[in-house]
Amino acid sequence: GWDLIGKYATFTADVYIGCLLVMFGVYPLLLATVAKVSPLQFFKGAWPAIQLAFVSRSSVGTMPVTQRVTERLGVPKEYASFAVPFGATTKMDGCAAIYP
């Protein structure tokens, strides 16, 4: 009954909080320290691809926008044309990796 729904709601909230911590905590830290890129500039430039990926839930469907965004962020076309399709089609286990 309601106990089970409460547990699922808590789990769902925990997953979203974890994703937000990674996206707005870990990634900006790596961008600033390792890549020497401004996190604000990166997220501003990458926002169209992030938004479409969130709404469509499809890595492959987002590829054309991701390709344009990647090139606009300064990644050479030779690298982007390899990395974007490779990244969109590998590691497709989704959230299955985090479920116990």
Q: What is the pTM of this model?
A: 0.74
What's the rounded mean pLDDT across residues 24-31? 96
| CB atoms closer than 10 angstroms to residue 65 | 18
Sorted by where each begins, the domain ranges of the chain are: 1-36, 38-100
pLDDT in tens, 29-57: 999 999 999 999 999 999 999 999 989 98
Contact, 66 vs 54, CB < 8 A?
A: no
